[in-house]
Copies of this chain bind each other. A is one copy, B any other.
Amino acid sequence: MSKGVTVWFTGLSGSGKSTITRILEKTLRQRGERVEILDGDVVRTNLSKGLSFSKEDRDLNIKRVGFVCQLLTRHNVIVIAAVISPYKQSRESNRSLIGNFIEVYTKCSVEACAKRDPKGLYKKAQSGEIQHFTGVSDPYEEPENPDVICETENETPEESAQKIVLKLEEFGYIDKQ
């Protein structure tokens, strides 16, 4: 049986968090692991309705997600949190709180994310229609020592997911296969 752990994705909108999450989830489920996903949609609907994109509200949101990750992690669930989480200190607080924690950085330039722009958000951010948009009109603090870096401009989502699986094995959170 696996140990609980939080796999915390951080990265710009469009950097590949959701795509890699889906592949990772499928792989882990096929291996019989208990998995929960807390991605942007789940979080906005169930935990953070009404919060703005100010630094204060973003921090509150990340703290709230961290609380839920902590609860699930200590009951042996692998929780995949996939939220932009632009501030280093918020991520580090969650690492301290949760303990069993792997930080995954989906690294991708703003230019490449804006080119992908799957939801048309960069276009709106660049025209000013959306404000406080991370990478355009709001800061993103890169992780200094992430446990896994997914270079999503140079590797496939499958390769990225595989790197995370190997890290989970290496740290003993899941059994090797």
**Interface, chain A (partner B; CB < 8 A):** 34, 36, 46-47, 49-50, 60, 63-64, 67-68, 71-72, 75-77
Cα-based distance from A72 to B4 in the complex (angstroms): 13
The interface residues of chain B lying within 8 Å CB-to-CB of A71 are 36, 68, 71-72
Cα-based distance from A76 to B72 in the complex (angstroms): 11
Cα-based distance from A50 to B75 in the complex (angstroms): 28
What is the distance, in angstroms, from A154's C-beta to the closest C-beta of chain B?
35
**A47 partner, pick from B50, B64, B72, B75, beta carbons under 8 A:** B64
The interface residues of chain B lying within 8 Å CB-to-CB of A64 are 46-47
| Pairwise interchain contact A47-B47, C-beta atoms closer than 8 A | yes
